[in-house]
Structure 1
């Protein structure tokens, strides 16, 4: 006889990449921008939350950024006036330099007066200081305007991000499966607003008892029956085993993937799964109802100890203790 040993698991169909979308801020739900069943792409807006302050802050930050950029880079920038001052100071310095060195040569030839020489020298030194101050003022102003421009840009990016927090967007390409809030309702960061997942790829969530989880490994075959498809059995394989036990149900979650899925699937379809952990041909089997204390049977010669092998829901494999000719008596109830 051919015998299969399997592990039973309750099964629930869910879309792949299923997740719940939350708001990053609290407020009032202004509008659901999508409907249940809509197909969405990564980054698409889903839900708009009311709060005008972030939008106003972002607009003010944008205006400040434009002003700072105009001051730093624009044609009418403050730096342009300072550049003109530097050019004027440079021209004045060149003129005073020529006059000073000309007067210096004359003075060395004992031509002219000392007063004239001292005046030319003083004018030259003043022009040098004026030129240096103009350059220093330009460098300082340029640094200040650059800093103000960078700060304004950072403020604008921060304000824009804060404003974007009031629009919940999709993180995947997929489908909207549920919307949990309606316009006018209060939104908090602790409550989900929508459920999103893959539009055509579904997985099977299997709950395996903790006593059986050690028998499960990726790649094992699963036979799945769904309540929505009463007379059909679907093949699947184990894809992923979650290592954390659910303390309430004392089960582990295991994911399976359909080999040939049904044509129509919906989130939450329930059923059962049998995970095939061993198969053997030409085995001696016995109904479990004939067992006493899990590994004994009653024969005409008395109680016999058995060595048990594979087990299914209602059959066990007998390795030692009896053979196919042994007459087995059903235990008294």
Structure 2
């Protein structure tokens, strides 16, 4: 019985020693912000891809090299494409219009021969016709001359038509072969990967001899003089973010230092997988040296008030209810909030003590 009394007394003493945490409102500054994490990128930074399948035969730049728009980066080889190019060149030479002028000359000779034959048969026909009109000669002679005349005329016209068709066919084949050769040469350009921006080669992702495809990134290129902060903002906060807002950020590479930036661009579409929007910002106060793909954490400043009535944010229940020291629960109107403090616009006096929720 004595032990039970001592145990109960211990519980009572312990309970009395655990005092509730209380607080009074204070007046001070508060800044409301939106948290975002992100990655530092250079302006115009992109991964370079080839548009064809092949094998890397040459690396034409090194990591750290400066490049301009159009600078060759990598050479790709593809035996099938090389054979196709050679075949296109052979076909273009074979079908070249000037190389086939002999066929047209031969067709012209056929026309000339048919024309002369037609002229002779025409003359014989009309002579025989005049004689027949005078009842001289036989009908058989007249019909034979008429048949020869009609045949010569048809052969002459057919020779002219064959010449036209031959010329048209040769012109078509020549133009088609030249176009195929042009396409082949243009495709050959695809086997040289070129820079699309002025900047620096930050990384070469492949080496000589590796097989690449249009789905394979080859290099990372960007503008080393201009950096962009790419922030990921939650969909619940994006409506409060606007261009021109101040950003305070810390870089993992610069411990215990903060830097300033300004929002410059807000994405119009949400990433469905991460449920975030991309927000871009540019430094207004940048560190002396930067590298692409550095990670950072940032706060986008939404609004600021110097003399606000503040309470600890963790003293709020359901973001709108406080508990007075008397035990009364009261609904308050909340204004700005940060991670630690909340502004009270109405519902609580500066002299009223509140209790931290359990």
- Corresponding position: 1:17 with 2:17: no
The residue matched to 2:154 in structure 1 has which SS?
helix
In structure 2, what is the equivalent of residue 233 of structure 1? 259
The residue matched to 2:151 in structure 1 has which SS?
helix
- Corresponding position: 1:31 with 2:63: no
Q: Distance in 2 between matches of 1:280 and 1:332?
A: 26
The residue matched to 1:181 in structure 2 has which SS?
coil
Give the unaligned 5+ runs of structure 1: none
1:25–1:189 Cα contact (<8 Å) kept? yes
2:231–2:278 Cα contact (<8 Å) kept? yes
In structure 1, what is the equivalent of residue 225 of structure 2? 200
Give the unaligned 5+ runs of structure 2: 1-27
2:323–2:357 Cα contact (<8 Å) kept? no
In structure 2, what is the equivalent of residue 133 of structure 1? 158
- Corresponding position: 1:49 with 2:73: no
Deviation of the 1:13 alpha carbon: 1.1
Q: Distance in 2 between matches of 1:296 and 1:118?
A: 122
In structure 2, what is the equivalent of residue 212 of structure 1? 237
The residue matched to 1:54 in structure 2 has which SS?
helix
Residues 93, 262 of structure 1: alpha-carbon distance in 2 compared, 3 angstrom cutoff: farther
In structure 2, what is the equivalent of residue 256 of structure 1? 281
Deviation of the 1:121 alpha carbon: 3.7
Choose from 245, 251, 261 the match for 2:271: 245
Q: Distance in 1 between matches of 2:203 and 2:69?
A: 17
| Residues 309-318 or 148-157, more deviating | 148-157
In structure 2, what is the equivalent of residue 318 of structure 1? 344
Q: Distance in 2 between matches of 1:238 and 1:163?
A: 40
Q: Distance in 2 between matches of 1:95 and 1:176?
A: 81
Residues 1-333 of structure 1 aligned to structure 2 (within 5 Å)? 1-70=28-97, 73-74=98-99, 76-109=101-134, 120-229=145-254, 231-241=257-267, 243-245=269-271, 247=273, 251-259=276-284, 264-291=289-316, 294-297=319-322, 299-303=324-328, 305=330, 306-324=332-350, 326=351, 328=353, 331=356
| Residues 4-13 or 231-240, more deviating | 231-240
1:228–1:269 Cα contact (<8 Å) kept? yes
Deviation of the 1:179 alpha carbon: 0.9
Q: Distance in 2 between matches of 1:77 and 1:4?
A: 89
2:259–2:287 Cα contact (<8 Å) kept? no
| Residues 44-53 or 310-319, more deviating | 44-53
The residue matched to 1:16 in structure 2 has which SS?
strand
Q: Deviations over 1:35-65 (max 9, x none)?
A: 2233434444322223223112212211211
Deviation of the 1:267 alpha carbon: 0.8
